[in-house]
A and B are shown apart, each in its own frame.
Chain A
């Protein structure tokens, strides 16, 4: 089964890896980050913070778009019956879902790696020497890692919703969960010693605030490895649970 998953994942990743359009988008994003350096005056000498914040926002948008690829990819392959070559093989259905998830997750890692490297080069090339100082580069990488984890969570959610809903509705649901997910920390705040239920609910919904370091970095709050570790563990467990559920549903679903 692992071999099947690897084949499907590799096929999915290769498909995007060979797309010229992907590189055009990534280059445009890096140029966009570079363009943010021109706003120092307009932001009243807050150019550095604006640039970091802007770079992380661009990474987040790319992560969101990447995660949505799985929805349309799976649906198109089922509609065009390309997927039938895989899912009519023994144990093919679970392998197909896990393979798609891992393939798109690797695509998210690839995109984030390119953008992070691009952003760090841009920081170095611009006159903001202090951006690279005080471990900011390391913390930027931490933030990018958690944004990648967020993409993986959203990919898992997208796969899950696509089991019941159409492509467009699924994409909208992912967008809604992306927006709400960054607000569910409010529920966490409502949680108290006596009633932890809000905290649990916020983690189940999902709580994407756990994966959001944008404000912390911009405000020069030191990010510990515990925060990173907790965020990554949360994302992996969350994604695995949803992909496992999707795989179980897909294995019992009629393929029209």
Chain B
């Protein structure tokens, strides 16, 4: 069973007879397995937020189905299994962190004792125990975002949907959110989030999906998606006077901790380099595959998609 599943999903905004219709989703097919961190990527206006809103019942699809843990999202009960953090949310500034979580607990019918226990647990999880009795009007952006995650977790959901959770945070704030998300995955939760900060997505996500013009154009694990762009061969014992010669065979050589690292792109001849290493008294410690960065992959994939669409129009 998938945590999230959409089939033939369409969403068009605009009045029935309006000429200015916006096709936000166009046959979106998405499958997110359980217990992964899934990064949902795409340029502005690609349909990320619309997809999230459909999953949460905030927007009604024009056509198609979406399911959460196998249940159609038309069924309001699906929302019992989901925690949600919207993009740039505002909180009631006159409430303290503790009062706000209490309010969220009341909405999902927790009794007073359960609420008290749960809010203490959550404040500790997001590192805000010290601010439990402070009014949220004085909270920093990072603290507010952590409060947002705490409220999303109030019902101990199996699926957590976050819309741009790390956008606008400083490095410390981003590190906090990353830590929390990784901990949640360890607890067996599924995390589905949209983001523009690809370096963070690359470090956190098990899987990514790329959406453009309302269609999923890529989906899979990072290893599956990114192309190999070369290899780093870590060696020891290569005669130092031979390294200048060796650099002509590969892209460059780095000396680090007594190792000579030969960096080869796909254009280099790996066999020649290996022979060179052994001929000069060296031995290979390990080879590390080099993959293109997610950002490069993302840009390449979006550009290809745009080009294909243009060609289709012409």
Is A81 in contact with B88, judged by CB distance below 8 angstroms?
Answer: yes
Q: A3-B106, A7-B106, A81-B86 are in contact. Are A88 and B92 (CB under 8 A)?
A: no
Q: Which residue of A lies closest to B57 (CB)?
A: A88
Is B13 in contact with A7, judged by CB distance below 8 angstroms?
Answer: no
Q: A90-B77, A90-B79 are in contact. Are A85 and B88 (CB under 8 A)?
A: no
Is A18 in contact with B94, judged by CB distance below 8 angstroms?
Answer: yes
Q: Bound complex: CA of A81 vs CA of B77, how far in Å?
A: 21
Q: Which one, A15, A90, A252, A256, contacts B80 given CB within 8 A? A: A90
Asked whether A86 is an interface residue with its Cβ less than 8 Å from the other chain, the reply is yes
Q: Which one, A4, A7, A252, contacts B60 given CB within 8 A? A: A252
On chain A, the residues within 8 Å of B59 by CB distance are 254-256
Is B92 in contact with A15, judged by CB distance below 8 angstroms?
Answer: yes
- Binary contact readout A7-20 vs B (1 if CB under 8 angstroms, 0 otherwise): 11001000100100
Q: Bound complex: CA of A229 vs CA of B58, how far in Å?
A: 40
Is A80 in contact with B90, judged by CB distance below 8 angstroms?
Answer: yes
- Binary contact readout B24-55 vs A (1 if CB under 8 angstroms, 0 otherwise): 00000000000000000000000000000100
Asked whether B239 is an interface residue with its Cβ less than 8 Å from the other chain, the reply is no
Asked whether A91 is an interface residue with its Cβ less than 8 Å from the other chain, the reply is yes
Is B94 in contact with A89, judged by CB distance below 8 angstroms?
Answer: no
On chain A, the residues within 8 Å of B10 by CB distance are none
Q: Which one, A11, A88, A255, contacts B103 given CB within 8 A? A: A11
Asked whether A84 is an interface residue with its Cβ less than 8 Å from the other chain, the reply is yes
Is B86 in contact with A84, judged by CB distance below 8 angstroms?
Answer: yes
On chain A, the residues within 8 Å of B171 by CB distance are none
Is B86 in contact with A255, judged by CB distance below 8 angstroms?
Answer: no
Q: Bound complex: CA of A90 vs CA of B80, how far in Å?
A: 7
Asked whether A87 is an interface residue with its Cβ less than 8 Å from the other chain, the reply is yes
Is B94 in contact with A84, judged by CB distance below 8 angstroms?
Answer: no
Q: Which one, A82, A87, A254, contacts B92 given CB within 8 A? A: A82
Asked whether B229 is an interface residue with its Cβ less than 8 Å from the other chain, the reply is no
Q: A4-B107, A81-B88 are in contact. Are A88 and B56 (CB under 8 A)?
A: yes
Asked whether A92 is an interface residue with its Cβ less than 8 Å from the other chain, the reply is yes
Size of B's binding interface in residues, CB under 8 A: 28
Is A90 in contact with B76, judged by CB distance below 8 angstroms?
Answer: yes
Q: Bound complex: CA of A149 vs CA of B34, how far in Å?
A: 52
**How far in angstroms is the closest Cβ of chain B from A182?**
35
- Binary contact readout B73-113 vs A (1 if CB under 8 angstroms, 0 otherwise): 00011011010101111111010000000011011110000
* CB neighbors of B among A76-101 (8 A): 80-82, 84-92
On chain B, the residues within 8 Å of A256 by CB distance are 59
Asked whether B66 is an interface residue with its Cβ less than 8 Å from the other chain, the reply is no
Q: Bound complex: CA of A82 vs CA of B86, how far in Å?
A: 9
Is B53 in contact with A255, judged by CB distance below 8 angstroms?
Answer: yes
Q: Which one, A15, A80, A90, contacts B94 given CB within 8 A? A: A15
On chain A, the residues within 8 Å of B79 by CB distance are 88-90, 92
**How far in angstroms is the closest Cβ of chain B from A12?**
10
Q: Bound complex: CA of A81 vs CA of B164, how far in Å?
A: 14
Q: Bound complex: CA of A80 vs CA of B60, how far in Å?
A: 21
Q: Bound complex: CA of A252 vs CA of B59, how far in Å?
A: 8
* CB neighbors of A among B147-195 (8 A): 151
On chain B, the residues within 8 Å of A4 by CB distance are 107, 109
Q: A252-B60, A254-B60, A255-B59 are in contact. Are A86 and B94 (CB under 8 A)?
A: no
Q: Bound complex: CA of A252 vs CA of B76, how far in Å?
A: 13
On chain B, the residues within 8 Å of A15 by CB distance are 92, 94
Is B56 in contact with A3, judged by CB distance below 8 angstroms?
Answer: no
Q: Bound complex: CA of A156 vs CA of B27, how far in Å?
A: 39
Q: Bound complex: CA of A45 vs CA of B86, how far in Å?
A: 62
Is B107 in contact with A92, judged by CB distance below 8 angstroms?
Answer: yes
Q: A88-B58, A254-B58 are in contact. Are A3 and B109 (CB under 8 A)?
A: yes
Q: Bound complex: CA of A11 vs CA of B104, how far in Å?
A: 11
Q: Which residue of A lies closest to B106 (CB)?
A: A7
Is A85 in contact with B77, judged by CB distance below 8 angstroms?
Answer: no
On chain A, the residues within 8 Å of B58 by CB distance are 84, 87-88, 254-255
- Binary contact readout A35-48 vs B (1 if CB under 8 angstroms, 0 otherwise): 00000000000000
**How far in angstroms is the closest Cβ of chain B from A101?**
17
Q: A7-B106, A90-B77, A255-B59 are in contact. Are A85 and B89 (CB under 8 A)?
A: yes
The 5 closest A-B pairs by CB, nearest first: A80-B90, A90-B76, A81-B86, A255-B58, A7-B106
Q: List 17 A-B contacts (CB under 8 A).
A: A3-B106, A4-B109, A8-B107, A81-B86, A82-B89, A82-B91, A82-B92, A85-B107, A87-B58, A89-B108, A90-B76, A92-B79, A254-B13, A254-B53, A254-B58, A255-B53, A255-B59
Q: Interface on A for B, CB 8 Å cutoff?
A: 3-4, 7-8, 11, 15, 18, 80-82, 84-92, 252, 254-256
Given contacts A82-B91, A255-B58, 7 further A-B contacts (CB under 8 A): A7-B103, A7-B107, A81-B87, A84-B84, A92-B79, A252-B60, A254-B60
